[in-house]
A = this chain, B = another copy of it.
C-alpha cells in the first residue's frame, strides 16, 4: 500500500488517551452517549442494568482488530465505529430480535488521539440508535493494536428466536440486503483507489437490513443467519445445522452495475464477490413457501430433503483439518468450486 487514498483522520494525536487518562476519557465518552428507557443503569458503575421485557435476552459478541477486520487508513474512526456496532447488531437481527444495548470494549495504544476515540464512539452510538439501542457500558484497555469488541443485547418481544437449525425440505431460501458490495469496496481500497465511492462506502459502513430480521421472524422464517463471512458460507451454516442441502440459483442474483464494472476492470468474476463476499450483513432466511416471503426478501434457492449420506456427513465432520466442507450447499446443482466464504483462521 502506498499513501492512503484519502484523509481518514489520525489515530495518533494530541491530546492522546495517555494525556487525558482512563477516567477522563470515560467521562468524555459518557457525555456523548444517548440514553434509553431500556437501560436502567448505564456506563459508570461496575455493570450496566438492561431491561429484558421478554424475560430472555439475545446476546452476541464480535471483535474487530486493526489490520485484520479494518484498517485505520482505509476508514475513519466514525465508520469503524459504525461497522463494529453493525457487526454485532446484525447478529441480533438474524435471531429475529431487536438490539437494546451495546457493551463496547476498546483496546488502543496510549498515543491514540482522544478525538479519534470520540469519533469512534459517535459511530458506535449512531449505529446503535438506528435500532433504538444505546451504549450501556464498556471497558478501555491499553494495547499495541486498536481492537474493538462489541457485545450486543437484544429483545425478542415474545417471538421465538429464529435459529440456524430450522430449515426444512421444500423451504424457500431468501435474501434481504446487499451482497458483494463490501467485498468489491475492499478490492478497490486494496488496489489503492477510492472509487466507485458506493462500493468503498459499503465496505466502510455496511447497512444491514435490521428491521427485516424481526419481520422475517413474524412471517414465520424457519431459519436465518446474517451474512458476515460470505453468502455460501453462511447459508452452509443453516444447511449443516438443519441437516439439509441448500440449492442456490445464480440467475436469481442481481449483479449491480458498480460491482460488474469493477470486476470487469480487475478481471474478476463479480458473482464470486456476490456469493462469497462478507461484511455486507445481508440476511439469509428460509421460509415454508414463497407466499411467506415478506417484502424485502427475494427468493434465491430452495431446501432439498436429500440429506448428505451418513458416510459423507461423517467424513465432513471428521475431516482431517477439522474444517467442514461446503458440500451442503449446491450452486446451480453442483458444489461451489472456491472458498464459500471468509475464514478467520
Q: Which A residues are closer than 8 A to B by beta carbons?
A: 17-25, 27-28, 40-41, 44-65, 68-69, 91-92, 94-95, 97, 101, 103-105, 107, 110, 136-145, 147, 149, 151-154, 156, 161, 163-165, 224-226, 241, 321-324, 343-345
Contact = CB atoms under 8 A, between A and B. Distances in A.
Contact of A59 (B91, B137, B164): B137
Nearest to A23: B324
A95 B45 contact: yes
A344 B44 contact: no
B47 A345 contact: no
B63 A47 contact: no
A59 B28 contact: no
A56 B68 contact: no
Contacts of A57: 49-50, 52, 57, 153
18 contacts: A21-B323, A22-B344, A28-B322, A40-B56, A46-B60, A46-B92, A47-B58, A47-B154, A48-B59, A49-B156, A55-B55, A59-B136, A61-B138, A62-B105, A62-B139, A63-B139, A65-B107, A144-B145
Contacts of A25: 322, 345
A146 B156 CA distance: 34
A47 B142 contact: no
A153 B154 CA distance: 13
Contacts of A152: 47
B49 A52 contact: no
Contacts of A56: 40, 49-52
Contact of A141 (B45, B51, B65, B91): B65
Q: Quickly give the copy total for this chain.
A: 2
Contacts of A147: 63, 107, 143, 147
Contacts of A95: 45-47, 49
Nearest to A342: B22
Interface centre among A46, A68, A95, A143 (most CB of B within 10 A): A46
Nearest to A62: B139
Given A55-B53, A61-B149, A163-B45, A21 B322 contact: yes
A324 B154 CA distance: 34
Contacts of A143: 63, 65, 68, 145, 147
B343 A60 contact: no
A44 to B, nearest CB: 7
Contacts of A153: 57, 59
B321 A24 contact: yes
B21 A343 contact: yes
A94 B46 contact: yes
Contacts of A49: 56-59, 95, 156, 161
